[in-house]
Amino acid sequence: MTSADRFYRKVDKEGPVPEHVPGIGRCHIWTGCLALGYGQISYDGKVRRAHRLSFYLTHGRWPVGCVMHRCDNTACVNPEHLVEGTQLDNIADRCSKRRSARGERSGQAKLSDDEVREIVHARDMGVRATDLATKYGVTVRYVRQLHQGIWRRDITRRSA
């Protein structure tokens, strides 16, 4: 059995039809190993992402840069759903579809949404930024920027 045969045995071509992208047909779902939602397979002695291998098997070359999913289904390996692009293209695509982690869902967030609200309210009541920074383990500058609505605008935005 060839590596390509082994690849296609792990593909279910009866996946969902993405409603947000008309006319691209069904997703081909990777049924093998998944890591962080992306298919994985050993190919040529290396562990590869299944969607990148699908691109390779279709185009006869490895993609340069990223392979993006038009269907937004990370387990999909349908070549019709895959588009080659740069990392900047991938970031722009993610942001345009509002899939970036924001607020407390961000891996870099130090404060919960409730803590941000508490800080903004406390500043409104006259509590010093230095005291709040010490209490919440952040910088004075960050406390002031939260209060000004520079960061975490989804929470700190004032109603007019």
Q: Give the CA distances from residue 132 to residues 108, 120, 137, in Å, rounded to whole numbers and listed in that order.
A: 19, 10, 8
Percent of the chain with pLDDT over 90: 60
- The helix or strand, by DSSP H or E, that contains position 135, with its residue range, turns out to be helix 129-136
Fold of the domain built from segment(s) 3-96: Homing Intron 3 (I-Ppo) Encoded Endonuclease; Chain A (3.90.75)
- The helix or strand, by DSSP H or E, that contains position 58, with its residue range, turns out to be helix 50-59
Type of residue found at 132: L
Distance of CA 156 to the CA centre of its chain: 24
Q: What is the Cα–Cα distance from 76 to 73, expressed in whole angstroms?
A: 5
Domain boundaries, the chain: 3-96, 103-156
Query: For 33-43, what is the mean pLDDT?
Result: 93
Query: Could you give phi then psi for residue 77, rounded to 5 degrees?
Result: -125, 15
Global pTM reads 0.64
> Which pLDDT value is given to residue 81?
95
Q: Is 160's pLDDT higher than 60?
A: no
pLDDT in tens, 93-136: 877 776 665 666 655 678 888 899 999 999 999 999 999 999 99
pLDDT in tens, 6-26: 999 999 999 999 888 888 999
pLDDT in tens, 133-150: 999 999 999 999 888 888
Residues 6+ apart with CB under 8 A from 10: 30, 31, 32, 39, 41, 50
